Amino acid sequence: MAKILPIRIYGDEILRKKLKEADLKDPFLKQYLPDLIHTMYERDGVGLASSQVGVDLRIFVMDPWWAREEEQKNPRVLINPEIHDRQGEQIGEEGCLSVPDIFANVNRALKISYSYYTPEGEHIQAEAEGYEAVVIQHEYDHLNGVLFTDRVSTLAKLKFKMKLKSMAALARDGVNIMQYPEDPQ
Ligand SMILES: [Zn+2]
């Protein structure tokens, strides 16, 4: 059975780390990947990166078109991904499970070409655009210790600067895991 992994929140050090390359043969992945996918869906995410659950590996999962009501799940696991080319520009509102209650417009490339390994070891080269490209860029940033709030203009950032500060202070005091109302205390 896959389990829900605790989500690390803003201020936790691992969210700022450049994560390590994953070894496709690592036996840890066998249980971890289903857990990561399960956690993404249970927390209503369209993407989830390893650092967000405290794991130092260049792996993220995504399902940009998933909506809970329709239950059409199509999870993708991207291991050691690379973004090779970025073209054009788009601006859209983003949020992040690790940065609760903050949403802001972020500038992203409109089109990207990228590659990754599947859990089966297949090397995939692909292109994405629009919303799918946003999700990939957001999750890929996580692998390099970058959060969407880093990409928000200084002026727009003023609105939530204090919120970030208090989250970081809580994390320093050891409150670095997201509590969900539905979870047993
Ligand atoms: Zn995120």
Rounded CA separation 85/111 (Å): 8
Task: State the distance from the centre of ligand 1 to the C-alpha of 176, rounded, in angstroms.
Answer: 15
- Reply yes or no on whether 139 is catalytic: yes
* pLDDT per position as a tens digit, 89-112: 999 999 999 999 999 999 999 999
Task: State the distance from the centre of ligand 1 to the C-alpha of 123, rounded, in angstroms.
Answer: 24
For residue 65, give the 3-state DSSP assignment: coil
Residue ranges of domains in the chain = 13-172
* pLDDT per position as a tens digit, 151-163: 999 888 999 999 9
Return the pLDDT at 177.
87
pTM of the model: 0.95
Residues with Cβ within 8 Å of 67's Cβ and at least 6 positions away in sequence, in order, are none
CATH number, span 13-172: 3.90.45.10
Nearest Cα residue to 43 out of 80, 8, 85, 82:
8
Chain-centre distance for alpha carbon 128: 17
